[in-house]
Structure 1
Amino acid sequence: MQPLTYFLRPLLAVCALCCTATVLAQEATIRKNIAERLPQLSQIDEVRKAAVPGLFEIRVNGAEIYYTDAQGNYLIQGQVIDTKQRRNLTEERIDKLTAVKFEALPLQDAITIVRGKGERKLAVFQDPNCGYCKRFERDLQKVDNVTLHLFLYPILGADSAEKSRGIWCARDRAKAWNDWMLRDVPVAAAAAMCNSAVLERNVALGRKHNITGTPTLVFVDGSRVPGAVDAQQVEKLLAQARP
């Protein structure tokens, strides 16, 4: 006599195929209806079931999250909170999508500044014309035992690019950066022969990871924090971050 699993295995395979076909059909329906009714959301990166039964997650532009029903008749813009576990599921999903592999960052395109032993690591995307960046830099002076990888990220205009070029092309990049950000010492013009293609690479890198503002901090565990957080918060985040 054949074991029961011998007969169940084909049945389970058929059930799995039916479930897959149903999910694909639902995804196709959602994509079609959303694209027809909301052309601005026609380029959908991914459709997947959400944690809430009957709800589907729509992802666009890399990390923008929306929710809809199986027919794409309703669109929900907002956050899903798990009240039992007190977790923001939407926030967790976005954090996962926007996580940056620290070890994959092109550190040769950054200005490296070591403070103290430099045992902790932090990457920061900054624009020299960003007022919040200047405030952040003043607070950052209180943080020790850290290696900073500063990615010049000139996104605020032509003058930002010009200042970034002058800083990158300076003999002492770290000094030129600190002189400008902390002491308002004007940035010297870059030499005509200086190769500043790094700035274009940094902008492309930031766009790839959907970095839309400065400063943006990236920690060794891939987590990122936008905005000018104070020294106490930086210390807390450095302590929490694990590769």
Structure 2
Amino acid sequence: MKLPRIVRILAISGLLTLVACSAEAETPNAKQLHDKLQQLLPGRDITSVSPSPMKGVYEVVVGGHQIIYTDAKGDYVLLGEMIDMKNKVSLTQARAAELSRTDFAKLPFDQSFKEVRGDGSRKLAVFSDPDCPFCKRLENDSLAGVTNVTIYTFLFPLNIHQDAERKSRLLWCATDRDAAWRDWMDHGKLPENKGDCENPIQRNLALGDKLGITGTPALVFANGRMVSGAIPKEQLEQLLSHGGPDQSMQ
């Protein structure tokens, strides 16, 4: 069994020098710990502070989605995964999946374009950047041959790809958006238009920020679970059929 990297110790915003947490620290007042961390991390919303299963270590949710860990005094912070070794489960991944869950039915589908394969019974929303190589891998490998699914694609150009927003506008302004997307993903061919029609790209970026999406592709399944990356086809099929990611360690 290959274990993931359990803990990575990194400085947050250059404010803290990090070492191992003390298991013997005193039990804090949650509000006091929250307020101290909020002062140490200005501009970051400390959403919640709660005890973790590890004695003396507390889970801190930042910005509604990011999970970090702290000692009882808020003097030290850990970034990384907390692993339940007995059950071989990543507690951090399980908690992150819970935090990222969204109401699929309430997604603004008018800000996406739709592809129906087979009977379209399974549902999937994909936040995708036209210049993201992993998005192309998802389209050309993971989604290749997958049927009986309705795919809603939300154009989500990342600022690290300078031409992605222009391409997104061209794709959205195409007469047949899904066909234009396929031409671009499969053949690198963009539609011929001015890209000056009304589009939802800025609204998609705001939606992604609200959902905690920081990279592409980001996949949202019908049960509201979100998974990042060009996951293998076998895993994608499992998630489409069963609705949620497997958090067990491989």
- The secondary structure found in structure 1 opposite 2:213 is coil
- Measured after TM superposition, the shift of residue 41 of structure 1 is 7.9
**What number of residue pairs does the alignment pair up?**
217
Larger relative helix fraction: 1
- The secondary structure found in structure 2 opposite 1:76 is strand
- How big is the alpha-carbon RMSD for the aligned residues of Structure 1 and Structure 2? 2.3
- Measured after TM superposition, the shift of residue 42 of structure 1 is 6.2
Where does structure 1 lack aligned partners over 5 or more consecutive residues?
A: 1-22
**TM-score relative to the length of structure 1:** 0.80
Structure-2 residue corresponding to 1:15: none
Structure 1 residue runs of 4+, over 6 Å off? none
Structure-2 residue corresponding to 1:226: 228
- The secondary structure found in structure 2 opposite 1:77 is strand
Structure-1 residue corresponding to 2:7: none
2:158 to 155, 159, 179: 155
**TM-score relative to the length of structure 2:** 0.78
- The secondary structure found in structure 2 opposite 1:29 is helix
CA deviations over 1:126-183 (Å, ceiling 9, x no partner) = 1111112112211213111111001111114442111111111111111111111111
Residues 31 and 42 of structure 1, relative CA distance in 2, 3 Å threshold = farther
- Confirm or deny that 1:142 pairs with 2:176: no
For residues 173 and 122 of structure 1, the distance between their equivalents in structure 2, rounded to whole angstroms, comes to 17
Native 8 Å contact 1:113 1:147 kept in 2: yes
| Higher relative contact order structure (alpha carbons within 8 Å, sequence separation ≥ 6) | 2
Structure-2 residue corresponding to 1:166: 170
- The secondary structure found in structure 2 opposite 1:112 is strand
For residues 44 and 116 of structure 2, the distance between their equivalents in structure 1, rounded to whole angstroms, comes to 46
- The secondary structure found in structure 2 opposite 1:123 is strand
Native 8 Å contact 1:48 1:58 kept in 2: yes
- The secondary structure found in structure 2 opposite 1:28 is helix
Considering only CA atoms, is the larger Rg found in Structure 1 or Structure 2? 1
Residues 42 and 221 of structure 1, relative CA distance in 2, 3 Å threshold = closer
Where does structure 2 lack aligned partners over 5 or more consecutive residues?
A: 1-26, 245-250
- Confirm or deny that 1:104 pairs with 2:98: no
Native 8 Å contact 2:170 2:190 kept in 1: no
2:135 to 133, 136, 159: 133
